[in-house]
Structure 1
Amino acid sequence: MKKNILVFTALLFCLITFEGMSQNKSKVIAHRGAWKNTGATENSIAALEHAIKLGCYGSEFDVHMSADSVLFVNHDHTIKGTDIEKSTAQELSQIKLGNGESLPTLEAYLKAGSKQKKTRLILEIKTSRISKEHSLALTRKCVEMVKALKVEKITDYIAFDFDVCLKVRALAPKAHVEYLNGDKTPAEIQAANLSGTDYHYSVYKKNENWIDELQNKKLAINVWTVNDKSTMQWFVDKKVDFITTNEPELLLELVK
């Protein structure tokens, strides 16, 4: 009887340990969607759909505001020679991506993402080249649209502008908000009541102790943009929460 109890206890311990290990695995975020190995255009709705199909934890995308306050998804401030912030929605709606899609609005992108619940929408609020006020107006409109489309539960926010992060926190106190620029310490992130950091991998390599500090403070650790296997493995071994990559297929294979 005692032997059976010992065997059962050992098996239970192994199961709990295994589950704990699986929960500590770094999660995969597709940078601008899954585009590099799929033929989709980055930041397109097709790239989002490929990230969802792959089973990525999240799909990152970038948002700008047009001259007439319509929100569009694109990485750069310009596309095909057109400045998004200085152009109207009508002008921007005529632009076609490489895969034939129209330049997506944030509304269309969020609606596509809302059809599922497993892949999170990692919304980067791009810093305006016009003014701080433009950045903050963009922030308010992003949060309003996320709420209006009822996708708060699957949407996280990231930004290079610290004031934008603070604005999101004020507008959406329960949202997951991470800072991108790499110049704030874990203590400063905690004091600002942000969810964590989303820094370039070189920042963590230079400040390796920040990883321990963030983990001790129970703050989220995201790292961008990691595309080679050795660097991926380094951060997986450090048990960071999220790794953002242009190679989600490779990282998914590594962490499975």
Structure 2
Amino acid sequence: MHARAVAATTTALLGAAALLIPAPAALAGAVQPTVIAHRGASAYAPENTLAAVDKAAELGIHWVENDVQRTKDGELVVLHDDNLKRTTDVEQLFPDRAPWKVKDFTAAEIARLDAGSWFDPTYADARVPTLKQYMDRVELNHQKLLLEIKNPELYPGIEKETLKLLGNEGWLDRPHLASRLIVQSFSADSVRTVHELKPAVKTGFLGTPPVSELSRYATFADQINPSYGSVSTGYVASVHAVEGPHGRPLEVFVWTVNDANTARLVAGYGVDGIITNTPDVVRDALPAQ
């Protein structure tokens, strides 16, 4: 969800969710869901930038989510869209290069772009980070990463390249694999490829597969990560009833929840994680451990 849509979405959801929110006592005995900062703390800083990572850390949020794509010359960069138009000044710097696809620009060209002014002029110095730069910052902040391989059909081999970079950066050692890294995608084939290349990596499938198909996804995915509006208590329970590739129940991380009422609603469903642009709002809405 776009960061600027947070306010409108919050207003719309408050009324719709109010009657469905579990009472605090219903949540008190449950394990508090993990809170994941969507594209960093993207309600407060330009998405997928180092500033958004730092803002999440400033708010005390341990998990950040990002999106990975590949440049023309093979550099992995952190950006949500497959083109540069929405979140950079690429139209001004390269007016004759429409439709401004990430895969048509070199890493050096992308490094020149202003990736912050679209959000707020005070972030004019923000740049599209390489995945290496992003990993360095996450490590510096002692944070954890939910990494999404975006549009893998556009970038053949991106799974292997992503895992290689993660390995080079020390993120495939036992401590990171145990509790600090999850790789996800909307592409089941991509998630399956990651699992086959590096079975120890925790993986997530973005979507809401039918309950009848969960056992198939459980052969390569540790998580089923749907839009919050597509789940219920029954669906979450059905996911939890299936054992994943590492011998543990499948988990559910939902996206993108940006207000307190909806956070309490989905927590009542029993979800394991909540992906949000406003991680402080979601965290503060949940009962303390």
What is the TM-score with the length of structure 2 in the denominator? 0.73
In 2, Cα distance between the equivalents of 1:122 and 1:102?
Answer: 20
In structure 1, distance between residues paired with 2:228 and 2:31 = 19
Q: Give me the whole-angstrom Cα distance separating, in 2, the residues matched to 1:201 and 1:193.
A: 22
Equivalences for residues 14-163 of structure 1 within 5 A: 24-36=31-43, 38=44, 40-80=45-85, 81=91, 82-98=100-116, 99=123, 100-117=125-142, 119-128=143-152, 132=153, 134-152=154-172, 153=176, 154-163=180-189
- The amino acid across from 1:167 in the alignment is T
Aligned residue for 2:97? Answer: none
How far, CA to CA, are the matches of 2:58 and 2:217 in structure 1? 33
Hey, what does 2:206 align to over in structure 1? 180
- The aligned residue for residue 251 of structure 2 is 220
Would the aligned equivalents of 1:27 and 1:243 in 2 still touch at CA under 8 Å?
yes
Distance 1:86 1:66 in 2: 7
Runs of at least 4 residues of structure 1 off by over 4 A? none
RMSD of Structure 2 on Structure 1 (CA): 1.8
Count the aligned residue pairs.
226
**Which structure carries more strand by proportion?**
1
What amino acid maps onto 2:110 in structure 1?
L
Structure 1 residues 92, 159: closer, same or farther in 2, change over 3 A?
same
SS at match of 2:40: coil
CA shift for structure 1 position 33? 0.5
Residue equivalent to 2:11: none
1:246 aligns with 2:271: no
What amino acid is aligned across from residue 233 of structure 1 in structure 2? R
Distance 1:73 1:145 in 2: 13
Give unmatched runs, 5+ long, in structure 1: 1-20
Residue 199 of structure 1 contacts residue 224 of structure 1 at CA under 8 Å; is this kept in 2?
yes
8 Å CA contact 2:54, 2:141 repeated in 1 = no
Map Cα deviations across residues 170-226 of structure 1 (whole Å, 9 max, x no partner). 122111100003235432222x23101111112214xx4221112223111100011
In structure 2, what is the Cα distance between the partners aligned to 1:225 and 1:196? 16
What is the aligned counterpart of 1:235 among 236, 261, 266?
266
* Stretches of structure 2 lacking an aligned partner (at least 5 in a row): 1-27, 86-90, 92-99, 117-122, 243-248
CA separation of 1:23 and 1:144: change in aligned 2, threshold 3 A: farther
Q: TM-score, normalised on structure 1?
A: 0.82
Greater RCO (CA < 8 Å, at least 6 residues apart): 2
